[in-house]
Amino acid sequence: RKSHPSDSLLFVTFSFIYSMVAASSSSSPSQHPIKNKASTRVNTRGRNKETQRRPRMLTFTAALRHVPVLDQPTAEPWRRLSLHLHSQRRPCGLVLISKSPSYPEVDLGEWKVDEYRQRTDEPSEMRQMIDAIRTALASLGDDETSMSVSAYDTALVALVKNLDGGDGPQFPSCIDWIVQNQLPDGSWGDPAFFMVQDRMISTLACVVAVKSWNIDSDNLCDRGVLFIKENMSRLVEEEQDWMPCGFEINFPALLEKAKDLDLDIPYDDPVLEEIYAKRNLKLSKIPLDVLHAIPTTLLFSVEGMVDLPLDWETLLRLRCPDGSFHSSPAATAAALSHTGDKECHAFLDRLIQKFEGGVPCSHSMDTFEQLWVVDRLMRLGISRHFTSEIQQCLEFIYRRWTQKGLAHNMHCPIPDIDDTAMGFRLLRQHGYDITPSVFKHFEKDGKFVCFPMETNHASVTPMHNTYRASQFMFPGDDDVLARAGRYCREFLQERQSSNKLYDKWIITKDLPGEVGYTLNFPWKASLPRIETRMYLDQYGGNNDVWIANVLYR
């Protein structure tokens, strides 16, 4: 066979082991104080440990003598360890000759410590992509990041009447956006991904807005109603884990508005009866005293609670510092319609100007964006190009870390386990001193939930991120991390075995593959380059769709 450079290393290693073993076996006991000390102890059978070791040592030495490539050791084995092997070495010079091209001479002064910023040997296309990512990273956290516009939320904002008492809408630019963004099939919603609940609730909201202001250019209303009729039966066909947040509350509320406008919709369809039943069940579980007392995720869908006796003046005390209701433009628009609050108006007006007539489903997402950007850069194996930007993101996250965890933005007072787990793992991974006790706020009766006081079953992505975070447990940490790790692993394995690795927050390319890799290769057993290679096949990029009250990107 062809010789390999590792052959000589193997010969030298065995020679060294053999020489040292032979030297130790030929030495007198007086030369080994450790052995002398050990020989004074007697095992449970009453025999000296030295007499137990010697036969094993002789057996090992005898076995080495049968290796044909090794000769008898010299008197001084620590000198010239491998010279006696030279006569037996096969020539391997051709293998050792470097085939790599010589490096061009460069001025060492051009190289700087700041990672790859001054590299001149990168392809120009790669440098352009790196610069583009840096530009995007620089805009994070300064209210310049952008989300897709939500047709549903834009329609709810368009329904706000003129606060000065006029007959027109308070935000006419929202009507213009609706007119300009109807899809060819007559619906509104995400144009690239069809989810029937997203299209139905967005279309119904836009039809109600258009009909309310008697704007029907190009038969917008008729085309929208036709789409609703044709797809009503499909509402029960969609995977339930992909149900938009609050759909069973908000969709019936829009149907009541449509009925008041005499829109031709099959209100007695059996599918709607099932949705109404879910709505009544959920509304019956809402504690009104809690709803009016502390901020909860119920505020995100407050626009659909038309049948509840809500005290809007009391609810105003629960709005976020930016003037929103749980960062939701639709919920904030409902509060503005009932109260005329100036802070709610300022929040919506700012968004409409920023998004050119429309509004997103939630704003802002600064904490969420920075966490997921850092995670994706690391898993894709390109974080080395953006060390300073990542450090800035982590400093941003650390400044917003609280004893109860993290929320999706700096203004929201309701933390969630998804952002908390992602932040905990990334901060610990980069040396920040944070305590795992925050996870106690999401533990309920031995289970872990996404939001405090949540009653729905857990979802895959939050439990996946919590399981990843639980692997960063240090000595002396609270046992809550161990409990979270056990629960999340059992939850993910159960979902995996039943082939139900869907998630209520995201529709991504290969979530089952991501979860499977995490279960098979915990952080301590995961090789970064292997993980990157696997994630390159799992990463959906711009094709990933997130779920709130509608789909967004």
- Structural domains in the chain plus CATH codes: 127-144+365-552 (1.50.10.130), 149-360 (1.50.10.160)
Confidence of residue 334 (pLDDT cuts 50, 70, 90): very high
201 pLDDT higher than 80? yes
Beta bridge partners of 402: 405
Q: Are 189 and 202 in contact (CB under 8 A)?
A: yes
Task: Give me the helices (H) in 430-549, please.
Answer: 460-470, 480-497, 511-520, 528-538
| pLDDT at residue 338 greater than cutoff 90 | yes
Provide CB contacts within 8 A for 483, sequence distance 6+. 443, 446
Q: What is the DSSP letter of 188?
A: -
111 has pLDDT over 80: no
Name the percent of the chain lying above pLDDT 90: 67
Query: Model confidence at 121, in pLDDT bands (50, 70, 90)?
Result: low
Rounded to an integer, the average pLDDT of 346-350 is 98
Kindly report, residue by residue over 355-391, the tens digit of the pLDDT: 999 999 999 999 999 999 999 999 999 999 999 999 9
Q: Which residue has the higher pLDDT, 289 or 43?
A: 289
Q: Assess whether pLDDT exceeds 60 at residue 117.
A: no
User: pLDDT averaged over the chain?
Assistant: 82
pLDDT bin (cut points 50, 70, 90) of residue 542 is confident
User: Roughly how many angstroms between the first and final C-alpha of the chain, as a whole number?
Assistant: 58
Q: Which residue has the higher pLDDT, 332 or 96?
A: 332
Least confident of 134-143, 403-412, 424-433, 479-488: 134-143
pLDDT exceeds cutoff 70 at 198? yes
Euclidean distance between CA atoms 463 and 417, whole angstroms: 8
89-93 contacts, C-beta under 8 A, 24 or more apart: 89/7, 89/8, 89/11, 90/3, 90/7, 91/3, 92/3, 92/4, 92/5, 92/7, 92/8
Hey, how many other C-beta atoms are within 10 angstroms of the C-beta on 393?
22
DSSP assignment of 16-47: HHHHHHHHHHHS-GGG-HHHHHHHT-B-TTS-
Query: What pLDDT is attached to residue 97?
Result: 36
pLDDT value of residue 144: 59
418 CB-contact burial (10 Å; exposed 0-12 / middle 13-18 / buried 19+): buried
Calculate the CA dihedral of residues 415, 417, 419, 420 and round it to 10 degrees.
80
Task: Enter the pTM of the model.
Answer: 0.77
